[in-house]
Amino acid sequence: MRNNFDEQLARLNTSLIEMCEIVKHSIAQAKFALIGQDVALAQKIIASDDEIDNKEKEIEGDCLKLILRQQPVAGDLRYVSAVLKIVTDLERIGDHATDISELTLLLAGTPYIKKLEHIPQMAESTMTMLTESIEAFVKKDLQLAQKVIADDDKVDGLFEMVKSDLIELINENSENGDQAIDLVMVAKYFERIADHATNVAEWVVFSLTGTHKDSKII
């Protein structure tokens, strides 16, 4: 019985890694579409969001079947519960990649008012955080999960830089206003992606310790 349960948990891990890779690809493509003002690529990202939604539903279904059939307790229940929470954050990250791509469509056709510097850095940092948070879950690495949580401050700092630079451009010329606001929104979506990666890491901590944000749950 235990061997069968462990096999199902291993399949959950595989599915989670697959969903993470799909989401990471969406973030990377959203970054490239934004930088290159690539309308076709942005439209492709928007259209592919269903793949992430379907993967979320598939994993949720597997988790619920496992709970009903195996009735896990203690650490095993925490583990499966964490997966259910993690896939929700992954799905929201996919939504934000779509949000960024929709803004890319609005921004296309007009040269940027400044070279995009900190926003691509935000994208790279969020992808690293996401990769490490899922790695921490699969490897049950508490220290790595805590590193991801700490790394959120770096993305927050980059967001403040973007916001400050764009506010300065608006002050210099009010005609920069519309594009600057859209670019701030793009940066905000990347900042939210980092928040969701942090959420994933916090659920890793929960799966290992039973504590979520300093509150003991299970």
Whether residue 195 is predicted with pLDDT greater than 70 in this model: the reply is: yes
Residue 33, CB-side half-sphere exposure with 13 Å CA sphere: 27
Quick check: 122 and 187 in contact, CB under 8 A? Answer: yes
Q: Band the pLDDT of 75: cuts 50, 70, 90.
A: confident
Taking the C-alpha atoms of residue 130 and residue 150, their distance in angstroms, rounded to an integer, is 13
pLDDT for position 1: 56
pLDDT, mean of residues 188-196: 98
Kindly list the structural domains of the chain, giving each domain's residue range(s) and its CATH number in brackets, ordered by start.
2-216 (1.20.58.220)
Q: Band the pLDDT of 3: cuts 50, 70, 90.
A: confident
CB atoms within 10 A of CB 143: 7
Q: Band the pLDDT of 216: cuts 50, 70, 90.
A: low
pLDDT for position 192: 98
Taking the C-alpha atoms of residue 86 and residue 90, their distance in angstroms, rounded to an integer, is 6
pLDDT, mean of residues 88-117: 96
Whether residue 2 is predicted with pLDDT greater than 80 in this model: the reply is: no
Q: What is the pLDDT of residues 36-71, one digit of tens each?
A: 999 999 999 999 999 999 999 999 999 999 999 888
pLDDT for position 70: 85
pLDDT, mean of residues 104-113: 94
Rounded to the nearest integer, the mean pLDDT of the chain is 94
Q: Where are the alpha helices (DSSP H) in 108-176?
A: 118-139, 142-172
pLDDT for position 133: 96
Closest by CA to 93, choosing from 140, 150, 26, is 26
